[in-house]
Amino acid sequence: MDIFVNNLLFTYLPHIAMAIFWFGVITRIVKTSQSLQAESSQFLSKKGQRWGGNLFHYGIIMVFVGHFVGLFTPESLYHLIMTTATKRTLALTLGGIFGIAAVVGITILFIRRRRDVRLRINGKPQDILLLLLLLFEMLLGISSIFITATSSVENYAALGIWAQKVVTFQPDAGAIIAGHSIIYKLHIVTGLLIFMIFPYTKLMHMFVMPISYFLRSSYQLVRSGFRRL
């Protein structure tokens, strides 16, 4: 890959993606908070919703947490309890389990949308495109498992070094993974694209759901207390 393109994609694009992400999140929360809750398709069809939704949501959240901890934990810190090789084995095992769960879940949701007539009629094209983009990203992630398992430990550790250089604004961040597999690079670029469109899609409900749940629970408790009085 050309040096300029490599630096553009893996040194500067992450900063651009995060700027767009946080601008979009803050803007939607402040200005359009009423539109944040995702439209539920359960009203149209419950078939496959529970299994598909749970597998996808729990799987993708755990994969995200794993990526965050794995990429941004300094080597000196995790070396207090494990070696890089052990960390890689743990990442491959848990990443594989939750990644496959997320893929199965999103596949169920996709098939459900295509087979159910009411969902197909009332659905929006961007919903299908978003599902396909997420599925593509997850398949890239699962494909990278095999590359990580067969490549050197240093190759795996370099991904964490790259991520930490990005967040500390090091100008040579992109050079760290210049020689890495195209699968890794596609996975990273697709992930950054998802971050950029995240605030403007139904994915925003992942921010809102926990907050809404606790607010709704408190409200119900107060109301039920008044009824008893």
Binding-site residues, in ranges, read 57, 67, 187, 205
Structural contact between residues 79 and 36, judged by C-beta atoms closer than 8 angstroms:
no
State how far the Cα of 36 lies from the Cα of 201, in Å rounded to an integer: 9
Binding region for heme b: 57, 67, 187, 205
Which ranges of the chain would DSSP assign to H, the alpha helix? 3-7, 13-31, 49-72, 75-78, 84-115, 117-122, 125-150, 153-167, 173-176, 182-197, 205-228
Nearest to 203, CA basis, from 130, 105, 124: 130
